[in-house]
């Protein structure tokens, strides 16, 4: 919880500003007339159509309205049945999967997926795609709780590196993605193969915000 309300935690992000093509960030100019509670960082992404680099600025406010109104993140009780052993099948180098993103108006971005996670859940076989997030496998999944008990666009789950071709999916560690705390994030959404038929009653539900 402390990380969420930190000066650069998810609840502190108040603006993501993408710059016109060819323009590079000028943090000093962007800081003009801003309160001392605001910090600025830079970021880069690929243009969804051309692949060209796009530069942007992120504005973080340690006194944001979201931080002031935040109470907690509701969670399900620990559920041992949602700790699932699975098989990991490595993919060839360079293997990618298209992930639609929340704020790309239906567009998708290719993400590196090192392999396929074969899991049996409630008697059904799944071939899940977890992408490489700075050296860690990140599973973006959806289930029937989305939009009612849990965040509507799905949840995230970090997966430990495979050992001897096996991984463990501990859905008790599932968490609300950054876009569940600020609309200034552009989170990947679960691809079709990562949408589970069974309600995953484990892990985080939704943030609780006053008013």
Please provide the size of the chain in residues: 211
> Cβ of 102: how many Cβ atoms within 10 Å?
16
Indicate the pLDDT class of residue 109, thresholds 50, 70 and 90.
Answer: very high
> Comparing C-alpha atoms, which of 152, 28, 162, 35 is closest to residue 102?
152
Token pair of 108, please?
């998708």
* Residue 51, pLDDT above cutoff 90: no
Q: Are 142 and 196 in contact (CB under 8 A)?
A: yes
Indicate the pLDDT class of residue 87, thresholds 50, 70 and 90.
Answer: very high
Instruction: Tell me how far apart the alpha carbons of residues 85 and 55 are, in angstroms, rounded to a whole number.
Output: 40
Instruction: Tell me how far apart the alpha carbons of residues 74 and 180 are, in angstroms, rounded to a whole number.
Output: 13
Classify 194 as helix, strand or coil. helix
Question: How does pLDDT run across 127-139, given as a tens digit for each residue?
Answer: 999 999 998 999 9
Report the predicted TM-score, pTM, of the whole model to 2 decimal places: 0.94
Q: Are 13 and 60 in contact (CB under 8 A)?
A: yes
């Amino acid at each position: 919880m402390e990380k969420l309300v930190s000066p650069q935690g998810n609840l502190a992000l108040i603006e993501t500003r993408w710059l016109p093509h060819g323009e590079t960030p000028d943090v000093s100019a962007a800081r003009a007339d801003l309160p001392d509670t605001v910090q600025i960082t830079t970021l880069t992404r690929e243009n969804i159509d051309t692949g060209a680099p796009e530069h942007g600025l992120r504005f973080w406010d340690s006194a944001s309205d979201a931080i002031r109104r935040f109470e907690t993140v509701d969670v399900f009780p620990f559920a041992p049945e949602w700790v699932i052993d699975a098989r990991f099948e490595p993919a060839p180098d360079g293997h990618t999967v298209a992930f639609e993103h929340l704020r790309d108006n239906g567009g998708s971005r290719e993400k590196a997926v090192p392999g396929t996670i074969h899991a049996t859940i409630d008697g059904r076989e799944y071939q899940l795609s977890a992408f490489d997030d700075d050296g860690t496998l990140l599973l973006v999944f959806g289930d029937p709780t989305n939009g009612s008990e849990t965040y509507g666009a799905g949840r995230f789950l970090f997966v430990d590196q495979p050992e001897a071709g096996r991984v463990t999916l501990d859905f008790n560690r599932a968490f609300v993605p950054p876009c569940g705390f600020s609309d200034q994030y552009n989170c990947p959404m679960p691809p079709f193969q990562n949408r589970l038929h069974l309600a995953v009653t484990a892990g985080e539900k939704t943030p609780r915000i006053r008013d």
